[in-house]
């Protein structure tokens, strides 16, 4: 019996599956497919965090974010600089402000 997944997984998952006496079928995504699969993985991990609230899911989100960053050719420092610039211009999310409406 087999189970279908068709999703991007962490690099050691095939080894873990084999260690459980199972036989994974895999291939390496690259180029545009890899970028698309990373986006799908980010959505998956965010959804898991929203459902569970588990801090480990945040670590998974960060892992995907850094894979996207690296695949985009952006360094950790560059990403942090962009983050800091946006925070300077627009703030962070520290105060818990909820925008209900804007009256015109």
| pTM, entire model | 0.90
Residue 84: which pLDDT band, with cuts at 50, 70 and 90? very high
pLDDT tens-digit readout, 85-99: 999 999 999 999 999
Distance, CA of 1 to chain centre: 30
Q: Is the pLDDT of residue 57 over 90?
A: yes
Check whether 69 has a pLDDT greater than 90: yes
- Per-residue pLDDT averaged across 63-80, rounded? 98
């Amino acid at each position: 019996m087999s189970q279908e997944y068709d999703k991007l997984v962490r690099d050691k998952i095939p080894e873990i599956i084999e260690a459980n006496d199972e036989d994974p079928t895999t291939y390496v995504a690259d180029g545009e497919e890899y970028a698309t699969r990373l986006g799908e993985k980010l959505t998956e991990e965010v959804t898991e965090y929203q459902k569970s609230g588990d801090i480990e899911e945040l670590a998974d989100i960060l892992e995907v974010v850094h894979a996207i960053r690296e695949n985009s050719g952006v360094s950790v420092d560059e990403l942090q600089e962009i983050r800091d610039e946006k925070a300077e211009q627009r703030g962070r999310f520290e105060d818990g402000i909820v925008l209900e409406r804007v009256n015109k």
